[in-house]
Amino acid sequence: MENPAEGRLPRLPVLAGQWGLCYTGSQEKTLALWRKWACPTFFAVTAGRAAACGGAVKNDFATAMASLAREKGVEPEDILQALTAALIAAYRRDVNAPPTQRVSVEVDRQTGRARVSCSKTVVGEVRDPQVELALAEARRLSPDAAPGDTIEVESTPSNFGRIAAQTAKQVVLQRLREAERDRIYREFAQREGELILGILQRSEPRGWIVDLGRAEAVLPPTEQVPTEPYRAGLRLKFYLVEVERTSKGPVMTVSRTHRGLLRRLLELEVPEVFQGLVELKAMAREPGSRSKVAVAARQAGLDPVGACDGPRGVRIQNVVSELLGEKIDVIQWHAEPATFVANALSPAQVVSVELDHPERTATVLVPERQLSLAIGKEGQNARLAAKLTGWRIDIKAAEVAAAPPAATLGGSAEGIGR
């Protein structure tokens, strides 16, 4: 900084007549200072130097504030409010102002100049200059002033001090953090129930920490697929289950087991599903192993199963790849329960289906050679079919239909929800 006594004036934009921001005359250095500290750092400026600066104040303050707003992803108004709150807090600390005293700060948006005002009570004899104002001085400001009145008096300090500077800095930093947390919460709260791309960072007792770019999410053990080989640096798509606001910032929970993940992946890969031409009527999923999806066409002449499979099965294979090898059966939904149950047992061939509506049980006959295929490994195919249709399914071999049922599995109707 150049010495005013040598005849060369320092180019320091000041916040107030007697103190302000310690800037260099260079806009680049000014912005670098803001980037380094993420907020203005306050320094005492002597009355002589402030007077030397005079009115030759450039708009470095506005430029620096706009640059900081862009870098932090917050609104300039939030920064200005944080700065105003910081100045009030710093002033109260510096002069030990009582909590009942009203203090206000006006900051010029272009130059950064600030005007500090506080309320004082008009009295005949001043005992506490911080909160009281002599009647004679009050009448110079307001000719109608009378004892007991409250008057706003400009109280910009002549020497702010480094302690006040540090206080102001911390308040600004805290307000900026709060504004950024609020922005992140609003951004991700609108994306609940959507697909989100993230990178696994590290494993903690509460689950894997997922980097979402501007924020972090948690993949709890209950939302993890046991068969998936998680490792740091693995890039995956997740289903955003919940965004919760906490004192430490937003906490986001993502999932790899939610049925919504399969739904969103199908919407991503199958344009007909995204456009609503193909409806996902029901889904049943055993994460990491196998899923069944019932689809129906909303447009005449459209094959919903073929649309989901895509040319040579490319579309459904892309979904399988995103789920790290989980098998997916896409079947035709039908309003007739017997047909729907038969389709749900695909790829097994069904001879007949008998329905017991009061018990909501379906007795299915399949060729004997198809019996193991209809039941599936450890009963998986029949179990998923029962969940998909909502019917209790008894599977029998057609050749020995009179024999006891080979498998009896129950299920409840499940839609697209969790």
Q: Which CATH number do you get for residue 348?
A: 3.30.300.20
d(CA 35, CA 39): 8
CB 332 within 8 A of CB 322: no
Beta bridge partners of 245: 250
CB 152 within 8 A of CB 119: yes
| Residue that finishes a domain, picked among 310, 333, 356 | 333
Task: Give long-range contacts, CB 8 A cutoff, 24+ apart: 48-54.
Answer: 48/4, 49/4, 49/10, 49/12, 50/14, 50/16, 50/17, 50/18, 50/19, 50/20, 52/4, 52/9, 52/10, 53/9, 53/10, 53/11, 53/12, 53/13, 53/14, 54/9
Tokens representing 184? 């992140």
CB 121 within 8 A of CB 150: yes
Q: Phi first, then psi: give them for residue 137, nearest 5 degrees.
A: -70, -35
Three-class SS state of 155: coil
Q: Are residues 29 and 162 in the same domain?
A: yes
Q: Are residues 172 and 199 in the same domain?
A: no
d(CA 84, CA 218): 36
Q: What's the confidence (pLDDT) of residue 383?
A: 96
- Domain assignment present for 144: no
d(CA 251, CA 210): 11
User: In the Cβ-directed half-sphere of 77, how many Cα atoms lie within 13 Å?
Assistant: 0
Q: What does the CA dihedral 307, 311, 312, 313 come to, rounded to 10 degrees?
A: -40
Q: What's the confidence (pLDDT) of residue 61?
A: 66
Q: Are residues 202 and 99 in the same domain?
A: no
Q: Are residues 174 and 73 in the same domain?
A: yes
- Domain assignment present for 148: no
Per-residue pLDDT of the chain (418 residues; tens, 9 = 90+): 444 433 333 333 333 333 334 344 444 544 454 444 444 333 333 333 333 343 333 456 677 777 777 776 667 777 778 778 888 888 888 788 888 888 888 877 776 677 888 888 888 888 888 888 888 888 888 888 888 888 888 887 776 545 555 666 776 777 778 888 888 899 999 999 999 999 999 999 999 999 998 899 999 999 999 999 999 999 999 999 999 998 888 999 999 999 999 999 999 999 999 999 999 999 999 999 999 999 999 999 999 999 999 999 999 999 999 999 999 999 999 999 999 999 999 999 999 999 999 999 999 999 999 999 999 999 999 999 999 999 999 999 987 654 555 455 555 444 444 4
In the chain, the number of structural domains is 4
| Residue that finishes a domain, picked among 165, 183, 201 | 183
- Domain assignment present for 128: no
CB 331 within 8 A of CB 295: yes
Q: Are residues 47 and 158 in the same domain?
A: yes
Q: Phi first, then psi: give them for residue 278, nearest 5 degrees.
A: -120, 125
- Domain assignment present for 366: yes
Tokens representing 247? 């004192």
Q: What's the confidence (pLDDT) of residue 163?
A: 54
d(CA 410, CA 414): 12
Taken in order 230, 213, 31, 160, is the CA torsion positive or negative?
negative
- Domain assignment present for 135: no
Q: Return the beta strands (E) in 100-181 as ranges.
A: 103-107, 114-123, 132-134, 150-154
Q: Which CATH number do you get for residue 28?
A: 3.30.1480.10
Q: Are residues 44 and 97 in the same domain?
A: yes
Q: Are residues 364 and 387 in the same domain?
A: yes
**Structural domain boundaries enclosing 247:** 191-257
Tell me the Cα Rg of the chain.
Answer: 35
DSSP annotation of 161: -
Three-class SS state of 67: helix
Q: Phi first, then psi: give them for residue 363, nearest 5 degrees.
A: -100, 120
CB 307 within 8 A of CB 285: no
Q: Are residues 285 and 326 in the same domain?
A: yes
What element of type H or E holds 263? helix 259-269
- Domain assignment present for 313: yes
| Residue that finishes a domain, picked among 257, 276, 305 | 257
Contacts of 164 (CB under 8 A, 6+ apart): 42, 90, 91, 93, 94
Q: Are residues 271 and 197 in the same domain?
A: no
DSSP annotation of 43: E
Q: Are residues 102 and 247 in the same domain?
A: no
Contacts of 215 (CB under 8 A, 6+ apart): 184, 188, 250, 252
Beta bridge partners of 293: 283, 330
CB 254 within 8 A of CB 219: yes
- Domain assignment present for 197: yes
Q: What's the confidence (pLDDT) of residue 155?
A: 82
